[in-house]
Structure 1
Amino acid sequence: MRMFRPCKGSVCLGSPIFQNAGQRMLMDPIELSILLERLEFSQKSSSRLLGRVTVGSSVTIKNRATREKVTVTLVPPELADPEEKMISFISPLGSALLGLKLGDVAVTEFGRRTDKWDVISVNQRKVITDL
């Protein structure tokens, strides 16, 4: 049985930055274009050589304001499970991380809140799907 645990700080897996944002992205052509560009770049073999975040990567990030750390794995939307720290590449955080490398900063915005996340570790893996 899972007990309800209120979120403390910025690492709250129920937060909208960890959730799929497919509909919102489809409504914003600029945001969709940026996501597609990052996704295309992250899938190139040269990006794997540079240690960049791709779909399948496990990424450890640290919130600049709170110093909290979390490790998430970027997955396709159909495999996303934020409670298991498997986030979709179309979530706000997932799309911000795509294509980044160690030392880069991901910026997430939701409402009036803006968070900056330092990429402190990137572990690349291959995700197998039936797409």
Structure 2
Amino acid sequence: MPSHSPERTLTQLDVTRLSRRLQNNKSSLLIDWLDVATVVEATEVPADLITMNTLFTVEDLPSGETKTLRLCYPEDADPAQGSISVLSPVGASLLGLNVGDTAVWHSPQGKEHMAVVKQVLFQPEASGDYAL
């Protein structure tokens, strides 16, 4: 299991979709999360959990800067607009976290970054959309 990792909860649909995308990518950190996460049905997901297409805020540590992000698939990623790919180091570190959890990831240069999940603004499952 990756270090500095809180327990993760993922929806069965997210696991299925991401597993298909990762079939040929054996080096992704996300593979580790998929292997150790608690998997639940979309109807059982707590409203403060980051799932695919969730809009949320994080507080960067130690700067205290707050950012609004959306976790998305690579084809929808636009980091300048806050849409973060789940296959990026920061995206993979956020998937399956709850409000109050701390995400830890490393930049391509090896620098460690941390951010606390502050608020979930929109989660598809909480809105009754189980197919996003």
Change in CA separation of 1:73 and 1:89 when aligned onto 2, cut-off 3 Å: same
Contact 1:105 1:117 in 2 (8 A): yes
Q: Which has the higher strand share?
A: 2
Structure 1 match to 2:78: 81
Runs (5+) with no aligned partner, structure 2: 1-20
- Compute the RMSD of aligned alpha carbons: 2.9
- The total of aligned residue pairs comes to 105
Alpha-carbon deviation of 1:39?
Answer: 8.1
Residues 52-131 of structure 1 aligned to structure 2 (within 5 Å): 52-110=49-107, 111-123=109-121, 124-125=123-124, 126=129
Other structure's SS at 1:49 match:
coil
**TM-score (normalizing by structure 2):** 0.65
**TM-score (normalizing by structure 1):** 0.65
Runs (5+) with no aligned partner, structure 1: 1-21
Structure 1 match to 2:43: 45
Return the letter of the residue paired with 1:26. N
Alpha-carbon deviation of 1:56?
Answer: 0.9
Change in CA separation of 1:32 and 1:87 when aligned onto 2, cut-off 3 Å: closer
Alpha-carbon deviation of 1:32?
Answer: 4.2
Q: Residue by residue, what CA displacement relative to the aligned partner does 1:12-47 show, whole Å, maximum 9, x if unpaired?
A: xxxxxxxxxx99x92516x2422434788377432x
